[in-house]
């Protein structure tokens, strides 16, 4: 039995299938973790969703910002110029796929392995327990009767740079942004939502995982995606970054996860 983690698929269905074939992935005994951004920009978002959904319990997917954008479109929102999501929206099984996507977690933790999976990152002030609590609240919104309103807000709000006070209606949106959009922040939790590719010009900014006193470090290791510009991140003690930019003409990466932070990059396939 093996647990594999794959980077941002973004509709790159053929590279995904090639990767799994390389390691002889067997859904009867193996598990595939997907770090989010299952869809968009790539050519085969529909095939990707159908395949992952068909794996059943052998597949664990967390939601990324592009997956939330698909939910926004299903809720009646507007698309962006480079979207490739209409194939899903117009599919006869769209409602079934959207419901499946709504019920994916935004954070997954395996206590036995001591690995946590999230699409983008965690707040340096969050313990693992606090991160799980916030994730469950976001998931409750996505699975509840007002999911459409929540998803529409996620793409039409200016995210606060700091954690809002209790009772502030943007508090849950901020937590969702941290888990699905984070790249840079300061040690005291000031988030920079503007830098997507290059380095931040703020001397206090660090990659979210680079703050040595981050509280989540005490209990877990984190596998994540989202940051194609940074490429694979394999040289950090507490994290494994797997977005190697397949949709941008680079590679899709598969890692085999072991206990307590151990991992091995087992396969890569070009787009």
pLDDT, tens digit, for every residue of 175-229? 999 999 999 999 999 999 988 777 888 889 999 999 999 999 999 999 999 999 9
Rounded Cα–Cα distance for residues 151 and 154 (Å): 5
Placement of tokens 């390691």 in the chain? 23
pLDDT, tens digit, for every residue of 14-35? 999 999 999 999 999 999 999 9
Going through 76-230 in order, the beta strands assigned E by DSSP cover 107-110, 115-118, 184-185, 191-192, 206-207, 221-224
- The correct CATH number of 3-270 out of 3.40.109.10, 3.50.50.60, 3.60.21.10, 3.40.640.10 is 3.60.21.10
pLDDT in tens, the chain (271 residues): 899 999 999 999 999 999 999 999 999 999 999 999 999 999 999 999 999 999 999 999 999 999 999 999 999 998 888 999 999 999 999 999 999 999 999 999 999 999 999 999 999 999 999 999 999 999 999 999 999 999 999 876 789 999 999 888 899 999 999 999 999 999 999 999 988 777 888 889 999 999 999 999 999 999 999 999 999 999 999 999 999 999 999 999 999 999 989 999 999 999 8
- Asked if 223 contacts 35 with a C-beta cutoff of 8 angstroms, the reply is yes
Instruction: Say what the pTM is.
Output: 0.96
Going through the chain in order, the beta strands assigned E by DSSP cover 3-6, 31-34, 59-61, 107-110, 115-118, 184-185, 191-192, 206-207, 221-224, 239-241, 251-257, 263-270
| Helix, strand, coil fractions of the chain, as percent rounded to 5 | 35, 20, 45
Instruction: Identify the three-state secondary structure at position 263.
Output: strand
- Asked if 68 contacts 180 with a C-beta cutoff of 8 angstroms, the reply is yes
Question: What is the token pair recorded at 6?
Answer: 């794959």
């Amino acid at each position: 039995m093996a647990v594999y983690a794959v980077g941002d698929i973004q509709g790159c269905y053929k590279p995904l299938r090639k990767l799994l074939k390389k390691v002889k992935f067997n859904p009867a005994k193996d598990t595939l973790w997907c770090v989010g951004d299952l869809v968009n920009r790539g050519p085969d978002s529909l095939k990707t969703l159908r395949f992952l959904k068909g794996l059943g319990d052998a597949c664990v997917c967390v939601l990324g910002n592009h997956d939330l954008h698909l939910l926004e479109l299903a809720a009646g929102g507007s698309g962006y110029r480079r979207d490739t999501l209409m194939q899903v929206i117009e599919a006869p099984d769209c409602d079934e796929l959207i419901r499946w996507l709504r019920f994916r977690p935004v954070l997954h933790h395996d206590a036995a392995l001591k690995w946590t999976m999230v699409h983008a990152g965690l707040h340096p002030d969050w313990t693992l327990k606090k991160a799980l609590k916030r994730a469950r609240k976001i998931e409750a919104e996505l699975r509840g009767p007002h999911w459409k309103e929540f998803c529409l807000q996620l793409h039409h709000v200016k995210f606060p740079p700091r954690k809002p006070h209790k009772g502030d209606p943007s508090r849950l949106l901020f937590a969702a942004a941290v888990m699905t959009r984070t790249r840079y922040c300061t040690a005291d939790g000031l988030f920079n939502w503007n830098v997507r590719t290059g380095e931040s010009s703020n001397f206090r900014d660090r990659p979210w995982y680079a703050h040595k006193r981050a509280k989540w470090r005490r209990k877990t290791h984190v596998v994540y995606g989202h940051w194609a510009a940074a490429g694979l991140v394999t040289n950090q003690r507490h994290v494994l970054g797997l977005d190697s930019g397949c949709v941008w003409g680079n590679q899709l990466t598969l890692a085999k996860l072991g206990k307590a932070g151990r991992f091995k990059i087992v396969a890569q396939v070009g787009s």
